[in-house]
Amino acid sequence: MSVVVTGATGQLGRLVVEHLLARGTDPATIVATGRRTEVLADLAAQGVHTAKVDFTDPATLDAALEAGDVLLLVSGSEVGQRVAQHANVIDAAKRAGVARIVYTSAPKADTSALILAPEHKATEELIIASGLPFTFLRNGWYTENYAQTVQQGASTGSIIGSVGTGRVASASRTDYAEAAAVVLTTEGHEGSVYELSGDVAWTHDELAAAIGELAGREVVYQDLSPEDHAAALVSAGLDEGTVGFVVALDGNTRDGLLGDTSGDLSRLIGRPTTPLIEGLRPLAS
Separation in Å, CA 68 to CA 49, 65, 98, 118: 16, 9, 5, 30
Q: Both 235 and 124 in a single domain? A: no
User: Measured between alpha carbons, how far is 281 from 172 in angstroms, rounded to an integer?
Assistant: 11
User: Measured between alpha carbons, how far is 252 from 162 in angstroms, rounded to an integer?
Assistant: 10
Q: Both 281 and 154 in a single domain? A: yes
pLDDT for 78: 83
Strand pairing of 3-5 and 49-52? unpaired
* pLDDT band, residue 191 (cuts 50/70/90): very high
For residue 181, tell me if it sits in a domain.
no
In 68-82, which positions are buried (b, 16+ CB within 10 angstroms) versus exposed (e)? ebbbbbbbbeeeeeb
What is the tens place of the pLDDT at every residue in 52-87? 999 999 999 999 999 999 999 999 988 888 999 999
What is the tens place of the pLDDT at every residue in 5-22? 999 999 999 999 999 999
For residue 193, tell me if it sits in a domain.
no
Does residue 227 have a pLDDT over 90? Answer: yes
Q: For residue 125, what is the domain's CATH number?
A: 3.40.50.720
What is the tens place of the pLDDT at every residue in 249-283? 999 999 999 999 999 999 999 999 999 999 999 99
Q: Both 147 and 279 in a single domain? A: yes
Q: Both 46 and 132 in a single domain? A: yes
Q: Both 108 and 232 in a single domain? A: no
Q: Both 211 and 223 in a single domain? A: yes
pLDDT for 80: 81
DSSP symbol at 75: P
Half-sphere exposure of 79 (CA within 13 A, CB side): 7
Q: For residue 215, what is the domain's CATH number?
A: 3.90.25.10
What is the tens place of the pLDDT at every residue in 83-101? 999 999 999 999 999 999 9
Whose CA is closest to 174, among 10, 18, 8? 18
Q: Both 17 and 126 in a single domain? A: yes
Does residue 1 have a pLDDT over 90? Answer: no
For residue 282, tell me if it sits in a domain.
yes
